[in-house]
A and B are shown apart, each in its own frame.
Chain A
Amino acid sequence: GNSVTQMEGPVTLSEEAFLTINCTYTATGYPSLFWYVQYPGEGLQLLLKATKADDKGSNKGFEATYRKETTSFHLEKGSVQVSDSAVYFCALRDSSYKLIFGSGTRLLVRP
């Protein structure tokens, strides 16, 4: 079945450091890929998405590129801020509406 694997956390970085959170997926067909973010005590919010191979999603300085050849959708940001501290979820949606999530990666950014 379809699945998403993302790197375990927590990831601890200093402010202005470069961020990469790895995400790989297993799916039949051509899924859409998403990154969601969850701030403490809140629900999930869409951060960015990509719907086909080689698409790059971007938002708030975060980027991820849909790589079909490596089945990956790694999240990157060039310079993280304390306010980026949150849990990040990679997810895929196949031909149905169902969204399948990875286990989440907690990011802690220290001043």
Chain B
Amino acid sequence: NAGVTQTPKFQVLKTGQSMTLQCAQDMNHEYMSWYRQDPGMGLRLIHYSVGAGITDQGEVPNGYNVSRSTTEDFPLRLLSAAPSQTSVYFCASGNTGELFFGEGSRLTVL
């Protein structure tokens, strides 16, 4: 019963460093997405994908890259981290019904 798995759960970066948040799902979902959660702002969509090889921007894409080479994986890359990217990141996947969320990755950029 893995569902949506995110790694790492916690990460501290210095400004300018790069890193990748990993997301994997084992439910054969075509749709995958990344959200960030900030206090008082709910969840905001960063990038999403409707299938392997297809990605698109959400509401707040700047500073983030994604790719979708397989149905299962949807990594989120921060090329040059900034303090404004301190947040909790959630990966979610689904088909036509509900979205299933990972447990989140808490990122702090110093």
Contact = CB atoms under 8 A, between A and B. Distances in A.
A43 B48 CA distance: 18
A44 B90 contact: yes
Contact of A97 (B31, B40, B103): B31
Interface in B92-107: 92, 94-99, 101-104
16 contacts: A42-B103, A43-B90, A43-B101, A44-B43, A44-B92, A46-B99, A89-B43, A97-B31, A98-B33, A99-B45, A99-B92, A101-B35, A101-B44, A102-B42, A103-B41, A104-B42
Given A42-B103, A43-B103, A101 B98 contact: no
Interface size class of A (residues with CB under 8 A): 10 to 19
B105 to A, nearest CB: 10
Interface in B51-110: 58, 90, 92, 94-99, 101-104
Interface of A: 34, 42-46, 49, 89, 96-104
B98 A98 contact: no
A91 to B, nearest CB: 8
Query: 5 closest Cβ contacts across the A-B interface?
Result: A43-B101, A103-B42, A97-B31, A46-B98, A101-B43
A97 B90 contact: no
Contacts of A89: 42-43
